[in-house]
Amino acid sequence: MGSTTSRLLQTSALLVSLLTTTGALAHAHLKNQSPAADRQAPETPRELTLTFSEGVEANFSGLTLTGPAQVKVATGPATVNGKNNTQLVVPLEQPLASGNYTVDWHVVSVDGHKTKGQYHFSVK
């Protein structure tokens, strides 16, 4: 009888572990960005590229770029890199002035989970 209870507990622990791990991996987490977070870009970028831990849906993803004096910067529509659906690419409609910038991003991964975040960079 003790053996049956022990096996039941082990099986339950395994199932909880697997379900928890799957849930943690089901969100697109920001892995990389260009311009890089907390860095100074040597020249004004032409686009922002955000790389995530899994594929994202361009139609439900995007970002807001805020520059010096908290002024929003015009950007083009977000697209997904045709060769890599983990990369969200957002073109800039004008060159960036020197100063500090904040990127507020939101994405929906290909499995439907939403994630959002923020990072900063500066332009020389």
Within-domain flag for 14: no
Within-domain flag for 89: yes
Within-domain flag for 76: yes
Please tell me the total count of domains within the chain: 1
Within-domain flag for 23: no
HSE, CB side, 13 Å, CA atoms: give it for residue 108.
7
Continuous H helices in 2-83: 2-25
Within-domain flag for 72: yes
- Domain extent, residue 95, equals 28-123
Q: Is the pLDDT of residue 28 over 80?
A: yes
| pLDDT one-digit tens code per residue, 78-112 | 999 999 999 999 999 999 999 999 999 999 999 99
122: β partners: 40, 100
Q: The domain that contains 94 carries what CATH number?
A: 2.60.40.1220
Within-domain flag for 12: no
Within-domain flag for 13: no
Within-domain flag for 91: yes
CA-nearest of 37, 23, 46, 8 to 117 is 37
CA-nearest of 104, 117, 118, 101 to 39 is 101
Cis peptide before 77 (omega within 30 of 0): no
Q: What is the pTM of this model?
A: 0.78
47: β partners: 91
